């Protein structure tokens, strides 16, 4: 994260010392919180809303978090829970008469194999993740990024263990062409 | 093959660095904290209300529920105070007497209408209500898909 990227903002005036401390705290963790939310929600607008809510909860619990070595874990757990709540409540409510917005195809032509920068590579893999349907993306993200076990994912999402395994396997298979196109070792077999 | 794919995907995803949070996130959070702090206590979360206010609210809700239960006894056909005149006689507040009389008249009018209406009309009204509900539901769905999803997609493509 580049600290110089952030705009100057007015901090809450209620408790000046803790406010500046909180700003420093937020800067240290905001990329992690936003990434967690964005990968699960698959939508940057919602991810910002979720990240905002996470930090407001953190502010309310800042007395406990400011010196806690587990603050990062706490934030990640809250971000994951809020993202899953968003997905399971909000989207289930509308699934009856809506459909997922279609995502543009990720270009995986041969020319992308050569000399991609780290940022381009990250963006393409993130985009490939976002293109996955939520029932594949969410368990895949929980498994690979958040270290959930298959059993934990099944319990958290309220689906069968077999479905979790199938969805994750299909998600990986869907990612394979993107990984292959970037010449990631072992993906071509 | 499956294990190899798992290992490959795991390694590839683990190598993906964190996304940079939008620069506006920090200002959004701080502005929201300021906004919430500026709210009067009665517009904040119930858990943040002063303790006396929470206790008073609970007592008030309990009293209101008890009053409603007691009032429902008045309205019961075989209740202790059946009939508008008898009911209003049991209450000394003029406004309560007027309100009860009004409710009673409305109920009697309602019952008379239902009795006078042919059953087919009733079914028709129910069907029309169901149709209107479905139409409203469809309208909401169309608005959601047209406005919200398109805006979300546009937001995604901008970011």
Q: Domains in chain A, ordered, with CATH?
A: 12-102 (1.10.1740.10), 110-189 (1.10.10.10)
Q: Which of B18, B141, B153 sits opposite A31 (nearest CB)?
A: B18
Residue B44 lies in a domain: yes
Rounded Cα gap, residues B86 and B14, in angstroms = 78
Residue B137 lies in a domain: yes
Residues A11, A15, A16, A22, CA torsion sign: negative
Nearest CA in chain B to A93: B141
Nearest CA in chain A to B21: A31
For the cut 50, the answer to whether the pLDDT of residue A102 exceeds it is no
pTM comes to 0.63
* Distance from the A132 Cα atom to the nearest Cα atom in chain B, whole angstroms: 14
Mark whether B159 and B128 lie in a shared domain.
yes
pLDDT (tens digit, 9 = 90+) per residue, A73-101?
Answer: 999 999 999 999 988 776 665 555 444 44
Residue B78 lies in a domain: no
Per DSSP, helices labelled H in A42-160 are 44-60, 62-65, 71-85, 92-95, 118-131, 134-144, 150-157
- Residue A131 is encoded by which pair of tokens? 């293109």
Q: Which pLDDT belongs to residue B76?
A: 54
Residue B152 lies in a domain: yes
Mean pLDDT score across all residues of chain A: 78
Report the candidate in B158, B32, B21, B154 with the shortest Cα–Cα distance to residue A7: B21
> Quick check: ipTM above 0.90?
no
Q: Which of B11, B22, B151 sits opposite A48 (nearest CB)?
A: B22
Report the candidate in B19, B158, B10, B154 with the shortest Cα–Cα distance to residue A126: B19
pLDDT (tens digit, 9 = 90+) per residue, A48-76?
Answer: 999 999 999 999 899 889 888 899 999 99
Q: Which pLDDT belongs to residue B150?
A: 65
Number of domains in chain B: 3
Q: Which domain holds residue B42?
A: 29-59
Q: Which pLDDT belongs to residue A109?
A: 42
Going from the C-alpha of A187 to that of each of A109, A145, B13, the distances in angstroms are 16, 19, 12
């Amino acid at each position: 994260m580049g600290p110089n990227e952030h705009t100057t903002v007015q901090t809450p005036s209620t408790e000046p010392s803790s406010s500046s401390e909180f700003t420093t705290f937020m800067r240290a963790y905001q990329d992690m919180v936003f990434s967690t939310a964005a990968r699960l929600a698959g939508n940057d607008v919602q991810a910002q809303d979720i990240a905002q809510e996470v930090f407001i909860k953190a502010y309310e619990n800042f007395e406990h978090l400011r010196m806690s070595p587990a603050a990062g874990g706490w934030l990640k757990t809250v971000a994951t829970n809020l993202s899953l709540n968003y997905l399971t409540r909000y989207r289930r409510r509308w699934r009856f008469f809506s459909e997922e917005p279609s995502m543009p195809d990720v270009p995986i032509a041969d020319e992308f194999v050569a000399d991609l920068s780290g940022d381009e590579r990250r963006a393409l893999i993130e985009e490939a993740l976002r293109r996955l349907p939520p029932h594949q993306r969410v368990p895949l993200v929980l498994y690979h990024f958040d270290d959930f076990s298959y059993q934990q994912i099944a319990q958290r999402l309220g689906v069968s263990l077999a479905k979790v395994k199938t969805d994750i396997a299909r998600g990986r298979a869907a990612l394979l062409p993107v990984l292959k196109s970037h010449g990631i070792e072992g993906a071509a077999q | 093959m499956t294990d190899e794919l798992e290992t490959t995907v795991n390694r590839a995803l683990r190598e993906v660095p964190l996304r940079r949070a939008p620069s506006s996130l920090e200002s959004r959070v701080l502005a929201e904290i300021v906004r919430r702090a500026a709210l009067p206590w009665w517009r904040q979360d119930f858990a943040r209300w002063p303790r006396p206010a929470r206790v008073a609210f609970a007592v008030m809700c309990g009293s209101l529920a008890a009053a409603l239960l007691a009032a429902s006894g008045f309205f019961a056909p075989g209740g202790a105070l059946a009939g508008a005149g008898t009911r209003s006689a049991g209450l000394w507040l003029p406004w309560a007497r007027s309100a009860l009389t009004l409710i009673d008249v409305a109920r009697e009018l309602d019952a008379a209408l239902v009795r006078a209406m042919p059953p087919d009309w009733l079914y028709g009204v129910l069907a029309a209500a169901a149709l209107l509900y479905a139409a409203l539901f469809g309208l909401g769905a169309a608005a959601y898909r047209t406005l919200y999803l398109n805006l979300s997609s546009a937001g995604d493509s901008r970011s």
